[in-house]
């Protein structure tokens, strides 16, 4: 039996003991009571050693738990920092991609406008040259009196 069981047995023996009339005293079997008290006395060192061991183990377990918790917290902080950095990198990359795309679109639009202006200027110059050439041809034909040929050429254009 352990200390608690022996103490409970001693208490039960006192409670069950015969009362002495007109007093708070009781009659106990001395041998039984001394035997219970000796068992309690002998059980104390073992139970106390167990309790100390349990307390020591408890402290070690708590220390290990705190160490593990600190490690988990450190890992979580590292992971959060990594995710934040990754999110920042992705966000910056998207912003840069948007900027580059907008710049490319603006450059393309500018180039297209410049090309359109250049082509329009070349076509206008060609139109002027062709109109002058046609005027020269028309005047030359008029001088030659080729009115009939003029009508024949106009039939070809139809």
**Range of the structural domain that residue 52 is part of:** 3-156
52-92: per-residue pLDDT in tens?
888 888 888 999 999 999 999 999 999 998 888 888 888 89
Q: Any idea of the CA torsion for 98, 103, 108, 114, to the nearest 10 degrees?
A: 160
What token pair was written down for 84?
Answer: 């934040």
C-alpha 58: how far from chain center: 36
- Is residue 133 predicted with pLDDT exceeding 60? yes
The total number of structural domains that make up the chain: 1
What token pair was written down for 97?
Answer: 């991609």
- Report the run of H or E that residue 18 belongs to, with start and end: strand 18-19
Q: Which residue from 10, 70, 72, 17 is spatially nearest to 41, judged by alpha carbons? A: 10
- Is residue 149 predicted with pLDDT exceeding 60? no
The answer to whether the pTM exceeds 0.75 is no
18-39: per-residue pLDDT in tens?
888 888 888 888 888 888 888 8
100-124: per-residue pLDDT in tens?
999 999 999 999 999 999 999 999 9
Q: Residue range 40-52: average pLDDT?
A: 79
Rg (CA), the chain: 57
The DSSP secondary-structure symbol of 24 reads: S
């Amino acid at each position: 039996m352990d200390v608690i069981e022996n103490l409970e047995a001693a208490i039960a023996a006192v409670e069950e003991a015969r009362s002495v009339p007109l007093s708070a005293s009781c009659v106990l079997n001395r041998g039984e009571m001394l035997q219970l008290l000796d068992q309690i006395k002998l059980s104390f060192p073992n139970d106390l050693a167990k309790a100390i061991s349990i307390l020591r183990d408890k402290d070690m377990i708590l220390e290990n738990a705190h160490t593990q918790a600190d490690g988990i917290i450190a890992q979580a902080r590292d992971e959060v920092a990594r995710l934040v950095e990754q999110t920042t990198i992705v966000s910056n990359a998207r912003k840069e991609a948007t900027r580059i795309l907008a710049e490319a679109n603006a450059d393309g639009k500018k180039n297209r406008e410049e090309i359109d202006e250049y082509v329009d200027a070349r076509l206008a110059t060609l139109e002027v040259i062709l109109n002058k050439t046609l005027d020269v041809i028309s005047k030359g034909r008029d001088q030659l009196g080729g009115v009939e040929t003029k009508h024949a050429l106009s039939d070809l254009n139809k």
